[in-house]
Amino acid sequence: MKTKTVISILVFTTLFLLPSCKSEKPRDIVAENFEFAAQQLEYAVMLTEETVNNDTRDSLKKVASPLVSPRTMADDGSLIMVPARDWTSGFFAGELWYMYEYTKDPKWEELAIRFTSPLESQKLNKGTHDLGFMIFDSFGHGLRLSDLSDYKEINMAAARSLASRYKPNARIIRSWDHNGQKWDCPVIIDNMMNLELLFWASKESGDTSFYNIAVNHANTTMKNHFREDYGTWHVVDYDTITGEVRKKTTHQGFADESSWTRGEAWALYGYTMTYRETKNEDYLTQARNIANFIFTHPNLPDDLIPYWDFDAPEIPNEPRDVSAATITASALYELSLYGGEMAVQYKEWADTILKNLTSHYRATLESDAGFLLLHSTGAKSLNSEIDVPLVYADYYFLEALLRKSKIENNQSLF
């Protein structure tokens, strides 16, 4: 090789290749997203004040059911907020608690308390199963992270309200009271998530009836909600006298026999958590089988952010559901701790989900109504919340990031 050519190669390597190798520091997905969330959630808090001030409902309604929490974004880009009785009311407060947990900055604790307090009335709401979401994802975190002793009784009251919906002959907790013409006693797969509140109440009070209700519900759901391939029915309707299953249908999925994606995510998270609380290997096996269903499904896109239903008819021209992806990622981090030959793979899938969400699904700073992530789907079958930001997608995103950070720093998750 001629001296001139050698010199040219050396110059090229020094100028272009070496600097780029040096600058390839791995991205810190966790720090990057918490920095983004810190700015975006401050903006969101500002928008909540504006939205409450511009509430055009009549004054009676405003007093009876004030808007307390962001839920999603309207077509015109404005923030949609909900009153305390909405099933999503606890997630924004939960996000603020996660900000406090990550940063330890008292500013977030103060904000978290401000958005948690207005939810207290729901501890006595016996008309829904969603009390785990509403109360345990807000007051539950408050109790865990701060010295707020009155939060204990609020969580306990919510557990009693949830337990009041237990139907002993069918061995399940009733999910919904609405649509009485469609179902007698509907149980949705989502209900698995609310069992965490009951497991906590049992440990805290020593009253094993909370534990027994949760375990019975998990067992009945395991028996009736899953197909052979671990796809789930969304809604199973029970006869509360005989305990028999009346029918298996959907509400938010594409069809009765389809697998609604967020339902799969709730199931994965729910059985992983139930294994944590009981150490019964049957639940661990169930969670692993659900993970296998999701990650071997031919309709799961390469970036691991699923379409809203695994059987949606127009795939690949169907909206994604980022909320299912964040719930799944968070569940996978926990599942990766319980050993087995797939443990490393579970963490890798969760890492890939977070990386792809960060690169391709994130909202714009000080825009998108203050949400963190775009492209979730609430209920396409009901023509509701299609391809929008959703507060629970953001909540499980922060939770998954925190879990990733704790695992990588050898800290306990719970």
Is 71 a binding residue for ligand GLY by CB under 6 A? The answer is no
Is 190 a binding residue for ligand GLY by CB under 6 A? The answer is yes
* Main-chain phi, psi angles of 67, to 5 degrees: -75, 130
Given the complex with ligand GLY, which of 142 and 253 has the nearer CB atom? 253
Is 221 a binding residue for ligand GLY by CB under 6 A? The answer is no
Is 261 a binding residue for ligand GLY by CB under 6 A? The answer is no
CB-CB contact of 404 with 113 (8 Å) = no
Q: Round to whole Å and give the CA distance between 88 and 134.
A: 6
Q: Least distance from C-beta 265 to ligand GLY, angstroms?
A: 9
130 is a catalytic site residue: yes
CB-CB contact of 99 with 143 (8 Å) = no
Residue 298 Cα distances to 158, 288, 313, 324, angstroms: 40, 18, 13, 17
Q: Least distance from C-beta 378 to ligand GLY, angstroms?
A: 6
Q: Least distance from C-beta 391 to ligand GLY, angstroms?
A: 11
For 216-234, letters b (16+ CB in 10 Å) and e give: bbbbbbbebbbeeebbbbb
List the one residue from 128, 155, 252, 376 that touches ligand GLY (CB under 6 A). Answer: 252
Is 196 a binding residue for ligand GLY by CB under 6 A? The answer is no
Residue 117 Cα distances to 39, 41, 89, 102, angstroms: 23, 18, 11, 21
Given the complex with ligand GLY, which of 190 and 309 has the nearer CB atom? 190
Q: Which of 130, 321, 351, 368 is labelled catalytic?
A: 130
Q: Which of 86, 190, 309, 368 is labelled catalytic?
A: 190
Site string for ligand GLY, 347-386 (x = CB under 6 A): -------------------------------x--------
CA 361 to chain CA mean position, Å: 16
- Considering CB under 6 A, how many residues would be counted as binding ligand GLY? 5
Given the complex with ligand GLY, which of 87 and 271 has the nearer CB atom? 87
Ramachandran sector of residue 400 (left: φ over 0; alpha: ψ -120 to 50; beta: rest): alpha
* Main-chain phi, psi angles of 83, to 5 degrees: -80, 175
Given the complex with ligand GLY, which of 167 and 251 has the nearer CB atom? 251
Q: Least distance from C-beta 11 to ligand GLY, angstroms?
A: 59
Q: Which residue is nearest to ligand GLY (CB)?
A: 190
Q: Least distance from C-beta 262 to ligand GLY, angstroms?
A: 5
190 is a catalytic site residue: yes
Given the complex with ligand GLY, which of 250 and 286 has the nearer CB atom? 250
SS3 content of the chain, % helix, strand, coil (to 5): 55, 10, 35
SS3 assignment, position 65: coil
Given the complex with ligand GLY, which of 252 and 358 has the nearer CB atom? 252
Q: Which residues pair with 69 in a beta bridge?
A: 82
Q: Round to whole Å and give the CA distance between 327 and 308.
A: 13
What is the DSSP secondary structure assignment for residue 364, as one 8-state letter? P
Cα three-residue angle 135-353-188, rounded to 5 degrees: 40
SS3 assignment, position 235: strand
Site string for ligand GLY, 92-121 (x = CB under 6 A): ------------------------------
SS3 assignment, position 101: helix
Given the complex with ligand GLY, which of 370 and 378 has the nearer CB atom? 378
In order, the DSSP letters of 209-221 are: HHHHHHHHHHHHH
Is 262 a binding residue for ligand GLY by CB under 6 A? The answer is yes
**Cβ count near 365 (within 10 Å):** 11
Q: Least distance from C-beta 396 to ligand GLY, angstroms?
A: 11
- The residues of the shown chain that bind ligand GLY, judged by CB under 6 A, are 87, 190, 252, 262, 378
Which positions are catalytic?
A: 130, 190
